[in-house]
Amino acid sequence: MKKDVEFGIKEQLITKEKIQKRLKELGEQITEDFKNENEPLIVVGLLRGSIVFMADLIREIRLPLEIDFIEASSYGEGTQTSREVKILKDLRSTISGKNVLVVEDIIDSGFTLKKILQLLGSRNPKKVSLCTLLDKPERREVEIDVQYIGFEIPNEFVVGYGLDFNEIYRNLEYVGIAEPSVFE
């Protein structure tokens, strides 16, 4: 394995500066949308890809909030979804009657997220909203209602800023397009 963290990156798709600017905008919008609520906002990150985005996003939300995590998998070690969604880690907190903001790194086909949203919806939350760093609508196979979108991107295999290929590249400060040789 190459030791250079940027090995195999064809180009930067979204720079660190653009991400930081968009984070502030999303934080302001979410703050405005939930400012009149009495209960803390429950922010649920989808592990593992969302953790970098979520950590930066919650610092921009000027409201009382709690965090929790859920982990699901439908990819394994490949780049295509298997369509079999497995819950690997469930929430620790109760969300009944509470506002929930689900934070995702990227919405691709939508299968995994649809399963997660159905699961959370079955627990009687007051409201479930969705925030994603990246939206790839060209690949969507199921309808997903997204309230907060960082960036809409083309149908490219992207890594960085939490997104990985076989657990590598998550620590890049930007979102980059991977060379096909990286994942073929």
- What residues are labeled active site? 108
DSSP one-letter code for 163? B
Please name the residues in contact with 133: beta carbons below 8 A apart, sequence gap of 6 or more: 19, 50, 53, 104, 105, 106, 150, 151, 161, 162, 175
Residue among 21, 25, 23, 29 nearest 147 (CA) = 29
Segments in 47-136 forming alpha helices (H): 51-58, 111-121
CB 131 within 8 A of CB 104: yes
DSSP one-letter code for 84? -
For residue 57, the SS3 value is: helix
Question: What angle do the packed helices 16-34 and 51-58 form, to 10 degrees?
Answer: 60
